[in-house]
Chain A
Amino acid sequence: DGGITQSPKYLFRKEGQNVTLSCEQNLNHDAMYWYRQDPGQGLRLIYYSQIVNDFQKGDIAEGYSVSREKKESFPLTVTSAQKNPTAFYLCATFDSGANYGYTFGSGTRLTVV
């Protein structure tokens, strides 16, 4: 089945640790995105990538980093510089072709302990 796989579903991080969230897609979409969702805040854009080896900061990029070495993969690292990382993280891809629109993964819930 074509789709987006995010892992893990739940992640616990200790203060001061870096953690990496995985996002893999087999939809052959060029553009990929990371969003953060907090209660009452809707979705906010962290980073996006429109092509391999290129990515851009979104509205709330501080404390996060990404890479795009392969078309299928867009991992997000939450660094220790992110002071309030507890949130629900969603990865998405965008199809600019015949099936125009966004597809979302199932998300990763990150909790700082």
Chain B
Amino acid sequence: EDKVVQSPLSLVVHEGDTVTLNCSYEVTNFRSLLWYKQEKKAPTFLFMLTSSGIEKKSGRLSSILDKKELSSILNITATQTGDSAIYLCAVVMYSGGGADGLTFGKGTHLIIQP
């Protein structure tokens, strides 16, 4: 059974802190790993990672995938209250003709206190 596990499930830090969110996976036919930020409604796309191991960066956010450890981390530096959200990790399995869908982790609920 395909499995995506995120940790921690919840995290409370102070503004300015750096946080690291984890995502590990056990899936067949791995294609890519996606990170999303969900504030109130629709998840918004952050990064797509593949087995190439190339780090992705966007402002204070960065992410990388370790294909040996079958895991990925999402780093947020100098956190702000606007970073408070649920961060979702999802794995795409390759089906040959497209994507069958995403398998999501349970998410990490991040709260940034002023």
Chain A: residues with CB nearer than 8 A to chain B?
30-31, 33, 35, 40-45, 48, 50, 56, 58, 90, 94, 96, 100-107
Contact of B42 among A33, A100, A104 (CB under 8 A): A104
Determine the residue in chain B with the shortest Cβ distance to A109. B41
Query: What would be 8 A-B contacts, judged by CB atoms less than 8 Å apart?
Result: A31-B98, A42-B6, A42-B107, A43-B43, A43-B104, A44-B104, A102-B34, A104-B42
Shortest CB distance A54–B (Å) = 12
B27 contacts chain A at the CB level, 8 A cutoff:
no
Determine the residue in chain B with the shortest Cβ distance to A43. B104
Does the CB pair B45–A107 fall under 8 Å? no
CB 8 Å contact bits of B83-104 with A (1 = contact, 0 = none): 0000010100000011111111
Interface residue SS majority, chain B: strand
Q: How large is the interface on B (under 10, 10 to 19, 20 to 34, 35 or more residues)?
A: 20 to 34
Determine the residue in chain B with the shortest Cβ distance to A91. B42
Shortest CB distance B49–A (Å) = 12
Chain B: residues with CB nearer than 8 A to chain A?
4, 6, 9, 34, 41-45, 48, 88, 90, 97-107
- The interface centre, meaning the residue of B6, B43, B90, B103 with most chain A CB atoms within 10 A of its CB, is B43
Does the CB pair A90–B104 fall under 8 Å? no
Q: For B97, what are the chain A residues with a Cβ–Cβ distance below 8 Å? A: 50
Does the CB pair B43–A104 fall under 8 Å? yes
Measured in the bound complex, the distance between the Cα atoms of B106 and A35 in whole Å is 13
